[in-house]
Amino acid sequence: MSLINRRSFLATAAAASAALSAPMVLAQGRPKVIVIGGGAGGATAARYIAKDSDGAIDVTLIEPTRQYYTCFFSNLYLGGFWEYENLGHSYGTLASEYGINVVHDWAVGVDRDAKTVSLAGGHTLPYDRLIIAPGIDFVDGSVPGWDISAQARMPHAYKAGSQTQLLKHQVESMREGGTFAMVAPPNPYRCPPGPYERVSMVAHVLKERNPTAKILILDPKANFSKQALFEDGWSRHYDGMIERIGPDFGGGNVEVRPEAMEVVIDGEVQAVDVCNVIPAQKAGRIAHLAGVTDEGGWAPVTPTDMRSRVDDSIFVLGDSSNQGAMPKSGFSANSQAKVAANNVRADLTGSRVFPARYSNTCWSLIGTDDGIKVGASYEPGTDQIESVSSFISAVGEDAGLRQRTYEESIGWYEGITADIFG
Amino acid sequence: MHRFGLILIATLAGVLAAPAIAQTQIRAEALGDPESGQTVFLRDCAFCHQIGSDARNGVGPQLNRIYDRGAGSIDGFNYSPGLRRMGVDGLVWTYETLDAYIANPRALVSGTRMSYRGLRDEQERHDLLAYLRAYSDQPQNIPESAPTARPTLPELSTDTLQIVGDPEYGEYLSGECITCHQRSGADQGIPSIVGWFEEDFVVALHAYKQGLRPHPVMQMMASRLDDEQIAALAAYFASLNE
């Protein structure tokens, strides 16, 4: 990109966004990092690189939405435990306090030879290091009868925002005694306990508003995350309301008919009132366009630094990465981002590299004041990130501990969102 | 008795070196319910073990004064070589070691002859241990004496406390903490760790590492921090202001 093009881009972008200001004009000669995706992985990485390099690195964050709604805690919004506004976060602090150039646009291409990223708006930005953290996309055709055009009738609500609002509205306005169906995803997918926490939250709403309603989970997996804890909680809070059909009974052979509001389970047609379809998942689109994904649809990375196995100048974070034992979660992405940020800075400024340390904890809410958690710490293994120790809540814990666990999850939400968005 | 010795040593260390905080503080805790423990004893133990005024060795050794007794130390009882060896190696029956042995005998003592599959129910073990205590330990009614008294602060050498932390390393490591504990010092649901005295910070993390503080996430986090890393984190967080 020539200087003139760059300046004209700056002028346009500055007009469009107050976020762009002095730091980028002064950026001549500084090494450039582009981060694609402003979620738990990308925004954390951008913030840590900018913060710890004290202006020595020019950081650009590309994220299409101005207001980012976290997927984590969106189930609590469905259940009425969290306000929608409190899921939303803006990028103002990253721009004003950390000097990050926040560009609200879609990244639509990566030229790895020229080391540039092209944007839907027509601009092309150069990078020295690129961080790809676009989250998930859905695998076309994984649920027969469903594609993205059906998301208004059968929402996925697996990228938070208007989809989450739509699903909440559908649940709350469901006819008396109706059926809520969930088509659960196959592994691997974002937030392993997420679908089951969601079922808990929907059950909580229905128990209050529509107690004769039923919940049907159609699940291609034989087992799921925190299964014993959820099933114990469901029998205590929502006895008889929730039925799960696993793969042995056709839960893996499901077709949906959005127009008719029907699901077909192993050939049996059933009418439903609300249908939450969570399709099979793969890395976000830009990871595929950049050519850093494998045949499984995820981007393989080295366990010591989250660096792409395909390209040394690229790091892939969070849900899109294929890293080993860590679950796809906001906590994991945030943890991985700090390791990558440390290595990106070392690449570009020669700062100290510290050994990689990763961790994850997933809190879930089953009912009022009934919180559970699972977590582990991780280290780089020979080929993959490996778990070194773990813990999980126990069935039969006393109510006080469950309440503290829930309160702790709220503290965690405040903590991690401050760590991501500044 | 060894607990009193420990306090004495810790107190001396406190006088000689600086931080008195390194002392192992002892606090009495309620054990389980001895009446329920008797039920467990009669159900699971009484076929082989006797306890009380007329207790004698039978298939298993009598269990009077089991607390603070060296493993395999009753003269004339035919212990397994494995248990005898553990006794020689220094295994003493304390609340912790008895708890582990009863939970899974073979996991603690290889080749033990106690053919008991183990008691997995934690509450039942606590009750049983409370029952055994009624026949054990002199003076048994002083709450501060073992086994009711438990340490609440970790045992730390003065060397550990004198490590000077590297705040830059601490800042990197703090990434793991900041995900939950806010840099701003806000403490909703999760306590603030900003602006602590370094020694308090070091002692708290070692207390998690040694299992004296109970939180599972913190125990996991602390379990893989070495002394240098704990000192580095303490130095970093002490440098922050709320």
Contact call for A412 and B173, based on CB within 8 A: no
Determine contact, residues A210/A83, Cβ cutoff 8 Å: no
- Picking from A329, A353, A377, the residue at the C-terminal end of a domain is A353
Neighbours of A88 (CB within 10 A): 15
Contacts of A73 in chain B (CB under 8 A): none
- Average of pLDDT values for A267-288? 98
A405 part of a folded domain: no
Largest CA-CA distance found in chain A, in angstroms, rounded: 67
The answer to whether the Cβ–Cβ distance between B224 and A419 falls below 8 Å is no
Q: What pLDDT is recorded for position A46?
A: 98
- Give the distance from residue B176's alpha carbon to the nearest chain A alpha carbon, in angstroms: 7
Distance CA A60, CA A13 (A): 12
CB contact under 8 A, B188 and A352: no
Instruction: Please name the member of A359, A388, A390 whose beta carbon is closest to the beta carbon of B176.
Output: A359
For residue A137, list its beta bridge partners.
A282
The enclosing domain of A114 has a CATH number of 3.50.50.60
The helix or strand, by DSSP H or E, that contains position A180, with its residue range, turns out to be strand A179-183
- Rounded Cα–Cα distance for residues A374 and A371 (Å): 11
> Which run of H or E residues covers position A46?
helix A42-53
Q: Which residues pair with A314 in a beta bridge?
A: A130
User: Out of A335, A342, A418, whose CB is closest to B172?
Assistant: A342
Residue A287 lies in a domain: yes
Residues of chain B whose beta carbon is less than 8 angstroms from a beta carbon of chain A are 168-169, 171-173, 175-176, 178-184, 186-190, 216-217, 219-221, 223-224
Partner residue opposite A391 with nearest CB, options B184, B189, B216: B216
Q: Do A412 and B180 touch (CB under 8 A)?
A: yes
Q: List chain A residues with CB under 8 Å of B217.
A: 361, 373, 375, 391
A262 and A205 inside one domain: yes
Amino acid letter, A328: K
User: A322 and A254 in one domain?
Assistant: no
A411–B contact, CB cutoff 8 A: yes
Backbone angles phi, psi at A4, to 5 degrees: -65, -45
> Looking at residue A4, what is its pLDDT?
41
Nearest to B179 among A331, A388, A410 (CB): A331
Q: Can you tell me the distance from the alpha carbon of B44 to that of B119, in angstroms, rounded to the nearest whole number?
A: 9
Q: Cβ atoms within 10 A of the Cβ of A68, count?
A: 23
Cis peptide before A195 (omega within 30 of 0): no
- In chain A, how many domains are there? 2
Q: Which two structure tokens, joined as six digits, stand for B2?
A: 């060894």
Q: Which CATH architecture has domain B156-238?
A: Orthogonal Bundle (1.10)
Per-domain residue ranges of chain B? 29-137, 156-238
pLDDT digits (tens, 9 = 90+) for B12-60: 333 333 344 445 566 666 678 889 999 999 999 999 999 988 889 999 9
**A50, A32 contact by CB (below 8 A):** no
Q: Do the bridges between strand A299-300 and strand A321-322 make them parallel or antiparallel, or are there none, so unpaired?
A: parallel
Banded pLDDT at A85 (limits 50, 70, 90): very high
Element (H, E) at B13: helix B2-16
Fold match, B29-137 / B156-238 = yes
Question: A416 CA to chain B: closest CA distance, Å?
Answer: 5
Decide if A181 touches B, using CB distance below 8 A. Answer: no
Amino acid (1-letter code) at residue A205: V
Instruction: Enumerate residues 6+ apart whose C-beta is below 8 A from A162.
Output: none
CA distance B185 to chain A (A): 10
* A297/chain B closest Cα distance in angstroms: 29
Q: What is the ipTM of this complex?
A: 0.80
Q: Are residues A14 and A125 in the same domain?
A: yes
Indicate whether A30 and A131 sit together in one domain: yes
Phi/psi of residue A61, each to 5°? -110, 125
**A196 SS3 class:** helix
Domain of A100, in residue numbers: 3-137+282-353
Cβ contact B179–A419 (<8 Å): yes
Q: Quick one: A122 and A181 in the same domain?
A: no
* Dihedral in degrees, nearest 10, Cα atoms A338, A342, A345, A351: 150
Q: Whose CA is closest to A301, among A318, A286, A316? A: A316
Half-sphere exposure of B226 (CA within 13 A, CB side): 4
pLDDT for B136 beyond 80? no
Between A401 and A171, the higher pLDDT residue:
A171
Of A376, A390, A410, the CB nearest to B188: A410
| Whether the Cβ atoms of residue A196 and residue A364 lie closer than 8 Å to each other | yes
Phi and psi at residue B83, in whole multiples of 5°? -70, -40
Of A354, A408, A411, the CB nearest to B169: A354
Q: Per residue in B71-104, pLDDT tens?
A: 999 988 999 988 988 888 888 888 888 998 999 8
Q: Give the per-residue pLDDT at B133.
A: 83
Q: Which of A37, A196, A28 is nearest to A102 (CA)?
A: A37
The nearest CA of chain B is from the CA of A304 a distance in Å of 15
- Model confidence at B162: pLDDT above 50: yes
8-state DSSP, A186: P
pLDDT on residue B242:
60
A15 assigned to some structural domain: yes
A219-236 per-position pLDDT tens digit: 999 999 999 999 999 999
Instruction: Tell the CATH topology of B29-137.
Output: Cytochrome Bc1 Complex; Chain D, domain 2 (1.10.760)
- Residue A83 falls in which region: left (phi positive, over 0), alpha (psi -120 to 50) or beta: beta
- Is the Cβ pair B188, A411 closer than 8 Å? yes
Q: Based on the domain organization, do A124 and A162 belong to the same domain?
A: no
Query: What span, in angstroms and rounded, lies between the C-alpha atoms of B41 and B124?
Result: 10
- Tens of pLDDT, residues B165-217: 999 999 999 999 999 999 888 888 888 999 889 998 999 999 899 887 778 89
Q: Which of A383, A248, A252, A391 is nearest to A323 (CA)?
A: A383
| Burial grade of A391 (CB within 10 A; 0-12, 13-18, 19 or more) | middle
Is residue A393 assigned to a domain? no
Hey, which bits of A320-383 come out as E strands? 321-322, 358-367, 370-380
How far, in Å, CA of B199 to CA of A357, rounded? 24
3 state SS of B92: strand
pLDDT at B33: 87
pLDDT digits 0-9 by tens, A364-415? 999 999 999 999 999 999 999 999 999 999 999 889 899 999 999 999 999 9
Q: What is the DSSP string of B94-126?
A: -HHHHHHHHH-HHHHSTT----------HHHHH
Residue B15 has a pLDDT of 38
pLDDT at A199: 98
A 10 A CB-CB count for A277 gives 28
Q: Provide the Cα torsion B139, B141, B146, B148; round to 10°.
A: 170
Does A414 contact B189 at a Cβ distance shorter than 8 Å? yes
Same domain, A293 and A327: yes
- Cα separation, A12 vs A350, whole angstroms: 33
Q: Is the CB of A412 less than 8 angstroms away from the CB of B188? A: no
- Angle at which helix A42-53 crosses helix A330-349, to 10 degrees, equals 40
Instruction: Kindly state whether residue A410 falls inside one of the protein's structural domains.
Output: no
How far, CA to CA in Å, does B45 sit from each of B110, B137, B154?
A: 20, 20, 34
Selected for mutation to probe chain B from A338, A379, A405, A421 (highest B CB count within 10 Å) is: A338
- What is the rounded distance in angstroms from the CA atom of residue A273 to the CA atom of residue A275? 7
**Residue of A399, A177, A353, A134 whose CA lies nearest to A273:** A177
Residue of B108, B96, B118 lying closest to B40 (CA atoms): B118
A412: which chain B residues are within 8 Å (Cβ-Cβ)?
Answer: 179-180, 189-190
Q: Is residue A73 part of a domain?
A: yes
Helices B34-44/B122-133 angle, 10° precision: 100
